[in-house]
Each structure stands twice: as structure tokens, then as C-alpha cells.
Structure 1
Amino acid sequence: MFNGQPLPFFQPLIDTATGRIAGYEALARLRDEQGQIVSAGPLFTDPGVDPDDLLDLDRTIRRMALEAFRDNPDGFISINISPLWVSRLEPGKPLPSLQLLEEIGLPPEQVVFEITELQGDLQELKEAVRRYREAGIRIAIDDFGAGYSMLDRVLALEPDILKLDIQLFRQAASGNGNSGDFVKALALMAEKSGCWIIAEGVETEQELHFALECGARYVQGYLFARPAENFLPPDAVKAEFSRMRDDYAAGKLAERAKLMELRNSLSVLFGDLRKWLAKGGKPTDLPSPKSYPWLLRCFLCDAHGTQISPNYEWTNNSWKADPRYLDHNWSWRPYFYQILAEAGQDSRVILSNRYRDATTNQYCITSGLFIDNSRHLLLVDIDTALI
């Protein structure tokens, strides 16, 4: 057993398009004899707690949350559903949660069932999700990105909403390691599959900016509001959220300005490199890299992506030729066919998306310029850390 009075707390989810509160997640809490509020979450992972007691607690708080939200005219409420509870349902029997919604009188369209944990039988869960969706309920999956088994559930359940794994999200938002690109790739995958993204645990403006960069439709966290017993006015955080969103947009515009500066510098560099080629292309005649501190290397390919020159790299205050990549064809690389798609525009400096260079392990951008009536492609690799 457990001690304390069960009750639901509610944490708002902010719509990034409007800044308004779009809905709430219901969270399980207990009030002890001294009136202190504690999370009931640890009970659900404690093997010493009787599963029947946990099921009673879960259903009690679920009913209280839905009854409290019933009189809320706008938005949706997200309710956690454990796959373990689903596995205890009798096949063909009515689903208790659907019966509860009908009894309370809350439209299913205002409800999101959030699938938590990785346990339970996937086929049973898939069948329950099908019935929930037929009733008009949207499905979310929590901790997206936490592991392969979660990806397996995403493919099987085809959810409407994905909630990024909070630990992975925070690590990615901090800028440490490779997790940022990984989370952005997850978000892109979600977007292509028609899912909306929720970023939870947002506590700083830096984390908010990263959530926006990932295309999150909803954000949730202490930066906006802590969980509470009561609901807030829909516009409670709109003004502050709008300011932070404007700061993010301003930062992106500043990045765009830096990119334009880079393009201008590249135009000058490519002009120097064309003169260098016209003079015979000797390494000793290459222009000084002092004006281009971000320059990693330059090389020449034919129009089909086959490298026809060595890599020229600035090493120990002089240009060195590295012939190891002669005759390698790079047209299969994502950054390269992005550049090849622009063939025929000799005067246009082309930039790839950022990628991690397999040789140096550095984050790079490759820039290209077609020359000689698009018969050759002049390329430079750029260290993005020095832009």
C-alpha cells in the first residue's frame, strides 16, 4: 500500500504557433497528512507495490483528472496509459477508459492517451490503440528516442504525437556531443510521418530555442509553469513566450547574416582559386588562407563527382597535396548530390547542409562552384566551428 490522498496535478503544454496553452498533461500526486505534495510516479516503478493497488490509484487519478478537465472549454488533456494495464484487459470487453469518458461526458477529441514505458504485449497494445483511435482519441508515445524498442512501437502504433525523451532532449539542447543532430533527425522523421512533436522538461531559453529548431509543436516545462492543481488562463504565458520566440527568430536571422558573410568570402576565395587554376594550379601558388580561417581543404571534381585533383590542405604554414582521394566519386554523399543538383550555374556559390566529416570528425560545410561551363566543380570544405 501507499500513504497519502491521490490527486491529479496539471502541467500546461504551450502551442509554439500561438503561445497559448493548448492542453495539459495530468500527473499523479499524493498529499500526505502534513499537506505536502509528492509525486506518485516512483510507485509505478517500485516492484514492492501491489499491481492491483497501482491500478486502483491510476484509475482514481485518471477519473479525477478527466472530471476536473470536463468543464475546460478549450484544448486537450493528456493522460498516461501504461501498457501493463492494457495487457490486463479482457479480449473483446469494453475498454474502461472509453467507458469512463462516456460516463463523464468528455468528448474523446479532447483527450490524448500517452503510452508510457516499454513493457507489455505489443499486439495487445496495438489493438487497444486501434480502438482508442476509432473512438476519436489521439495517441502519443512518451520517451521517443530512448531506444530501438521505442522505435519499434512507433512503427507499430503510428501515433499522432511523439514526446521526445527528456534526458536525450536536454543533452542535445546543451550542445554537447552528437545528440543534437540525432534529435533533429528524430524530429524530421516524426514530421515526415505526420506526427507532432512535444518537447518536455524545457527549463531554459536555450532548451526552448532547441525545441523550436526541432520543429516542436508543443513545449512543456518549468520555463512556463510547474504542475499545479488548477488550470491557467489560456493566455497566461503568451506574452513571455512570444518574447522568447522572437529572440529565437532574431538569433536565426543573425545566423543568416553570418551565412551571407560566408557566401561573400567564398565568392572572393573562389575567384582567387580560379585565377590559381588558370596559372597552372601549383600548390605553392595557392592563395593564403589567413583571410579564410575556416578553410579546411580545397579540391577539384568533374561534373559527375569524381575527384580529379588531390586534396590541398594548409598544414604547418604551407599547402600540402594529399593524393589519396584521387578518382574517388563523391556523388553518393548527401552533401554532394545537393551541390550537383545545381549544375549549370557557373556563377553561383553553393553550400551544403552541415555534416560530420568522416576523416577529421569535424562538423563541416562543403561549398562548390561549377566552372568551365559546368565541366568541373571546384570545392572547399569549411570548418563550421570557425565560421
Structure 2
Amino acid sequence: MNDVNQDVAQSFTWTLREYGAGQQQRRTLKVPAGGGIVGRSDEADLCIPVTAISKRHAKLWAENGILCVEDLGSTNGTHHNGIRVQTARLHEGDLIQFANAVFRVGQVEESRNDGTLQEGLIPWAQTLLTFEKLLSERAVIPHFQPIVTMDRQSTSGYEVLARSNLPELQNPAKMFHVAERLGQNAALSELMREEAARLLCEAQHFDAVVYVNTHPDEFGTDRLTTSLENLAAAFPMLKFMIEIHEGAVTELAEMRKLQSTIRSLGMQLSYDDFGAGQGRLMELVEVPPDVLKFDMQLIRDIDQASACRIDLLRSLVRIAKDAGSITLAEGVETEAEHEVCVDLGFELGQGFLYGRPSPAPPSMPSAN
């Protein structure tokens, strides 16, 4: 009987599939044939680099065709189908939770292994170590994209965009994906603002307005207020435009409070990506920003748009201006788009037509 069970066990591979919330990437972990240690340490057989997981959190092994788990005295425990356990026998479809990391137990036939399974999360662990380096060594490389007047006579400002030279974290999507998993969105956002300001001061570029982004997680927090106060105190010679994503503008009371804080610090307020979501016309009218940035999806191919779409955009531009906001068209890439935006009454423009993001501070020569 044991021989038969052993043959069955060897015909299948036990797997753990991430069962996280939101948009985080699901990964399927292959449990080593001989079992192994689960933990956040790189020395673990299945490395899950989550802070709440202990270095040696639990042990997995197969016994008579059944996957078994034993907690190794972890700080935050091991749970089987929602119940904290010391040991448990796992079946296909069960949920196993190490601290706050949840996985669904599965099996695949060895012959069907298509190479997508991972022996632990070593690639992910390396990415997390790289992110720690990004923060500790301040290894971000802010890029600056020009914002121009629609007559193209002057550059009124530059938006700071997140970049780095670290292979796993070269673009903002990758950076903030990792930051989301680690709860470090605010820290990454703060770092990008501070490094951009430092570079601008070193280049002695004090004329144009510098547009710096905030993360939605920062909205309505004391941490954002403190961060902006520190930014104003450390770089009083710079002109900051604080960008709030349209999707984060949800409560009028919080927006009024933030606007008051920003103005008291000698900064200005911008709503970013207007029109990407609900439009938020109430917030626009009740708490008008200094600059309203229209999302690139509204601008893309506007020269080929229907008369109804153009009339709608013209109305939104007029409402924004009547509220006292300067209007900015994002994502302008062609001369035809530019001409329509001028006709619609946009005052500022941003996009590849006017200049690509560059790592050099704007007062220094750089190729677009």
C-alpha cells in the first residue's frame, strides 16, 4: 500500500497558488518533491519575502500522497482554511495561510508541467531586495517632461516621472507594483519628490514650476501634510505644483483641507488625469485646482473625433476655466492633436510632441 501511494505521490506535484487581493500578480509555487521550509529568508526552500512571515515559518512535506504542514513557532501563525493550526493535512482546494500570505493548495501532473511553476519565489525575493536598495540607496532617477504654453513660446513647467536604472524596477508600473505589496507607496512617492527637488536645486533651475505626483494612498493622511511641509522647508526656492490623481479626489472636506495646506506652503494644486474616471465635476467646481490636467485618453486622436466628443471636451474646458483653473492637455503627440487642443481653448500642453521625459535636470542640455 505504501508503494502504491508513493507512486501516486510521485505522479503529481503539489502547488501553492497566490490568493492575494487586488491586481497583484498570482504565482504558482512548486513544492519541492522532498518537501521543504517556508519562510521569508532566501535560505528557505519556498521563499515568500513578506515582512509578516517568519524566517523559518513552516514546514511542508508529502506523506502517503497527502501534503502536510507544520508551523515552526512562527510569530504570526499558520492557518488552514481560516483556522490557526500547529499541524494539518492539506487537500487540493484548501487555503493555507502563512501570516498574511494566502495560497490555494493544488496539484498538477508532472507530465503537464509547462515550465511556469517556480521553485519558491526566488525571482520575487530578488525583486524585493532590489526595492529595498532603491529606497535605502535612493536609487531613483527622476525624469522631467516639459509642460509648454500652447503657443509654444515658453516652457511653464516640468512633470517629474518615476524611473530607475535597477533592472527589475526600471519603470513606475514595476516600482509601484512592488511598493503596493510592501505597503511602501507613500515612501516611494516621497523619495521621488525629494530626489527631483534635489536635482533641480543642484542645477540651479528655479524658474519653471515642478509638477510632483502624490499616490492615492497618501491622500487625506497626516503623512502627506508632513511630507509637503518638509519639502517646502528643504527647497524654498522651488515652485511646486502638487498633483492629486483624479481618482483620489473623493471628499470635499479633505480636498479643502489639502488645498489650504498647499497654499499655506506657497505651493499650487493640480488634479491629474481628469476624465479618466468619473470626471468629478462637483469637486472641480467646489474645490477648483490651479491646474486641471485632462487625461490623455480624452486627447488621443481628438482630431479624428466626432463632433459630439469635441463639443463635450469644449464644454469641460469652459467649465474648468469658469471655475478658475488653467487647463492642460496631456498626451499630445501629433500636430493635428495640438491644433484641435488650441481651438478647444487649452492653455498648456504636455506630450511627446513637445518633449520626451529626460533624466537630466531641465536647465541642462538633454536630447528629447
TM over 0.5: yes
Q: How far apart, in 1, do the equivalents of 2:249 and 2:349 lie?
A: 28
Which runs of 5 or more residues in structure 1 are unaligned?
238-387
Q: Is 1:114 aligned to 2:247, yes or no? A: no
Contact 1:20 1:235 in 2 (8 A): no
SS at match of 1:194: coil
Q: Deviations over 1:256-301 (max 9, x none)?
A: xxxxxxxxxxxxxxxxxxxxxxxxxxxxxxxxxxxxxxxxxxxxxx
Look up the match of 2:288.
158
- Within-5 A mapping of 1:247-262: none
SS at match of 1:168: helix
Q: Shift of the alpha carbon at 1:43? A: 4.3
Which letter maps to 1:26?
V
Q: Is 1:223 aligned to 2:223, yes or no? A: no
Q: Shift of the alpha carbon at 1:152? A: 2.9
TM-score, normalised to structure 1, is 0.53
Q: How far apart, in 1, do the equivalents of 2:336 and 2:279 lie?
A: 29
Q: Is 1:98 aligned to 2:232, yes or no? A: no
Look up the match of 2:166.
32
Which letter maps to 1:39?
N
Contact 1:83 1:121 in 2 (8 A): no
- Is the alpha carbon distance of 1:216 and 1:85 closer, same or farther for their aligned partners in structure 2, counting shifts above 3 Å? same
Q: Shift of the alpha carbon at 1:119? A: 3.1
Q: Is 1:167 aligned to 2:297, yes or no? A: yes
- Within-5 A mapping of 1:118-267: 118-119=247-248, 122=251, 123-148=253-278, 150-176=280-306, 178-232=308-362
Which structure: larger Rg? Answer: 1
2:186 to 38, 55, 78: 55
1:8 to 142, 145, 170: 142
Q: How far apart, in 2, do the equivalents of 1:162 and 1:234 lie?
A: 28
Which runs of 5 or more residues in structure 2 are unaligned?
1-127
Which letter maps to 1:166?
M
Q: Shift of the alpha carbon at 1:136? A: 2.0
Contact 2:199 2:361 in 1 (8 A): no
SS at match of 1:118: helix
Q: How far apart, in 2, do the equivalents of 1:82 and 1:208 lie?
A: 29
- Is the alpha carbon distance of 1:213 and 1:46 closer, same or farther for their aligned partners in structure 2, counting shifts above 3 Å? farther
Q: How far apart, in 1, do the equivalents of 2:176 and 2:337 lie?
A: 28
Look up the match of 2:154.
20
Q: Shift of the alpha carbon at 1:200? A: 1.3
Look up the match of 1:348.
none
- Is the alpha carbon distance of 1:178 and 1:47 closer, same or farther for their aligned partners in structure 2, counting shifts above 3 Å? farther
Contact 1:114 1:139 in 2 (8 A): yes
Which letter maps to 1:140?
S
TM-score, normalised to structure 2, is 0.56
Contact 2:179 2:188 in 1 (8 A): no
Contact 2:246 2:279 in 1 (8 A): no
Q: How far apart, in 2, do the equivalents of 1:134 and 1:226 lie?
A: 32
SS at match of 1:10: strand
- Within-5 A mapping of 1:294-313: none
Q: Shift of the alpha carbon at 1:166? A: 0.8
Query: Identity, % of aligned pairs?
Result: 25
- Within-5 A mapping of 1:231-380: 231-232=361-362
Q: Shift of the alpha carbon at 1:189? A: 1.2
Contact 1:199 1:218 in 2 (8 A): yes
Q: How far apart, in 1, do the equivalents of 2:294 and 2:233 lie?
A: 31
SS at match of 1:6: coil
Contact 1:87 1:121 in 2 (8 A): no
- Is the alpha carbon distance of 1:98 and 1:17 closer, same or farther for their aligned partners in structure 2, counting shifts above 3 Å? farther
Q: Shift of the alpha carbon at 1:18? A: 5.2
- Is the alpha carbon distance of 1:210 and 1:115 closer, same or farther for their aligned partners in structure 2, counting shifts above 3 Å? same
Look up the match of 1:384.
none
Q: Shift of the alpha carbon at 1:175? A: 2.3
Count residues in correspondence.
Answer: 230
SS at match of 2:163: strand
Look up the match of 2:29.
none
Q: How far apart, in 2, do the equivalents of 1:167 and 1:74 lie?
A: 30
- Is the alpha carbon distance of 1:48 and 1:103 closer, same or farther for their aligned partners in structure 2, counting shifts above 3 Å? closer
